[in-house]
Amino acid sequence: MTPTPASTDQKIWAIAWPMMLSSMSVPLLGLVDTALLGHLEGARFLGAVAIGANFIGLMYWSFGFLRMGTTSLTAQQRGADSSAAASFSSAPSSTNIDAILFRALAMALGLGALVALAVPLLIDQILAWMQASAEVAPLAAEYIDIRRYSAPAVFMTFAVHGYLVGIQKPRGALVLVLVTNIANIVLDVWFIVYLGWESAGAAWATLIAEWLGLAIGLLMVMHYSGAMRVGQWRAWFSLAAFAHMLGFNYHLLIRTMLLLFVFNFFTAQGSAMSDDVLAANAILLQLVLFSAFVLDGFSFAAEALGGEAYGAKRWQILDTTVRACAKWSLLAALAFALVYSALGAPLVRLFSDVEPVLLAALRDRWWIVPITLLGATAYLMDGVCIGAGKTRAMHYSMWFSTAVVFLPAWWLARPLGNDGLWLAYFLFVIARGATLLLYWLRVRAQLLAGGAQIH
């Protein structure tokens, strides 16, 4: 039976709003660190955390495929199990989903351990590349050396987060993120203000909070699933299943690495122009990313609900879900575009009162309006393709958008200065959304017609 528009919207919002809140809570940590360390004597502690947190954050974000891949496989298996149970008039089994979660956790633990061991080999090169001063470098190295021990916890939490989204327990994911962030903030105040641990205190606070987050996440897993207590461990160690998961996640890894390259390249080119342009672009990107965090709520809904429908082979429900997610995503993007059009200047002034930075940001602020509006397609189609397991298409789309669109556009538009850089990024966003949308329209036509699927 095809769901009504009202019931579909209700399901979408049940997933979207908790994910929006969890995404928006993440930048709060950076603000707290900045506020606490910014009041210490000298700028070296804040500089150390800025460099260390940037390196750790980018490295950990590279493994975000553990979250996306787990969501996709879990949602599809949930749909397949529900469909099979309906056929035999029985309750759906959680055994297959438990196996997916176990493999994701095992993979995350292994990768996290490797990263923790490898980081010391990279610290000197990273600090040299970041051009850390003699005062900042040892503090940043200390920060990174402490934070590296959280890699297994962070990666395993990615898998737990993906599992919670996949089984449509977004409030659990929200609680997980909020508990971790609140613990981090409380420990920040304790270690930095009361114990005087300075930048090392910020590192220890985050390390402890991330391991606490994993503990909370595993307790949630035990609550929602039979994992950790069912006796079918041998089947969970299937080499074929691990190989499938590795291949599935490989495409997401390359896609994420390319996205990180674009962000870092954009930042580096702004820095090459001037410090003022670098700071102005950072302000504008914060506004773009804030809207993306909110719009990602509908992407998460497309992953979970679309993945379930895809796994159950209920193509009409899948199409209805994607259309409804698109409706809300575009409405939200339009609202952001209107706000940024009307209030762009006041919003920019909230971030800085340095005159040259303000002038540069105010001059180029109009770029964030079309990027926010058209970026909604890219964010949503990421969610749709993750839910349907079309990770290869995401991989190839990102290659095309980066190598064929972004880099040539930047090269040709260099005479335009910072406007040329923003133009290249704007075209990159359009290319991401357009390629995945065109691909999905082909897949949709095949599914609704009952033909062979496109991979």
Residue 107 structure tokens: 């993979």
Residue 446 structure tokens: 């095949």
Residue 126: pLDDT band by 50, 70, 90 thresholds? confident
Q: Does residue 116 have a pLDDT over 80? A: yes
Cβ pair 380, 325 in contact under 8 A: yes
Q: Which residue has tokens 């709060």?
A: 28
Give the pLDDT confidence of 7-17 residue by residue, as tens digits: 899 999 999 99
Residue 50: pLDDT band by 50, 70, 90 thresholds? confident
Q: What is the Cα–Cα distance from 294 to 23, expressed in whole angstroms?
A: 7
pLDDT, position 421: 96
Q: Does residue 91 have a pLDDT over 50? A: no
pTM of the model: 0.87
Q: What is the Cα–Cα distance from 376 to 227, expressed in whole angstroms?
A: 36
Give the pLDDT confidence of 271-280 residue by residue, as tens digits: 788 878 888 8
pLDDT, position 455: 56
32 CB contacts (<8 Å, ≥6 apart)? Answer: 184, 185, 188
Residue 349: pLDDT band by 50, 70, 90 thresholds? confident
Residue 1: pLDDT band by 50, 70, 90 thresholds? low
Q: What is the Cα–Cα distance from 343 to 97, expressed in whole angstroms?
A: 46
Long-range contacts of 30-33 (CB under 8 A, 24+ apart): 32/184, 32/185, 32/188, 33/188, 33/202
Residue 296 structure tokens: 């990602």
Lowest-confidence region among 1-10, 334-343, 408-417 = 1-10
Residue 90: pLDDT band by 50, 70, 90 thresholds? very low
Residue 84 structure tokens: 């099979």
Q: What is the Cα–Cα distance from 330 to 337, expressed in whole angstroms?
A: 10
Give the pLDDT confidence of 225-253 residue by residue, as tens digits: 764 555 556 666 677 777 878 888 899 99
Give the pLDDT confidence of 190-206 residue by residue, as tens digits: 998 889 898 899 999 99
What value does the mean pLDDT take over residues 10-31?
A: 84
> What percentage of residues in the chain have a pLDDT greater than 90?
60
Computed over every residue of the chain, the mean pLDDT equals: 87
**For residue 130, what is the DSSP state?**
T
Q: What is the Cα–Cα distance from 228 to 205, expressed in whole angstroms?
A: 28
Q: Does residue 26 have a pLDDT over 90? A: no
> What percentage of residues in the chain have a pLDDT greater than 70?
90
If we measure between CA atoms, which residue out of 351, 362, 341, 335 comes closest to residue 286? 351
What value does the mean pLDDT take over residues 38-60?
A: 79
183 CB contacts (<8 Å, ≥6 apart)? Answer: 208, 209, 212, 213
Q: What is the Cα–Cα distance from 395 to 180, expressed in whole angstroms?
A: 31
Domains in the chain: boundaries: 38-237, 241-455
pLDDT, position 119: 94
Residue 88: pLDDT band by 50, 70, 90 thresholds? very low
What value does the mean pLDDT take over residues 402-410?
A: 98
Largest CA distance in the chain: 69
What value does the mean pLDDT take over residues 425-446?
A: 96
Lowest-confidence region among 48-57, 316-325, 390-399 = 48-57
Q: What is the Cα–Cα distance from 439 to 212, expressed in whole angstroms?
A: 41
Q: H/E element holding 38?
A: none
Determine whether 49 is exposed, middle or buried from the number of CB atoms within 10 Å of its CB (0-12, 13-18, 19+): buried
Residue 34: pLDDT band by 50, 70, 90 thresholds? low
Cβ pair 166, 304 in contact under 8 A: yes
Q: Which residue has tokens 């600090």?
A: 127
Q: What is the Cα–Cα distance from 207 to 223, expressed in whole angstroms?
A: 25
Q: Does residue 86 have a pLDDT over 60? A: no
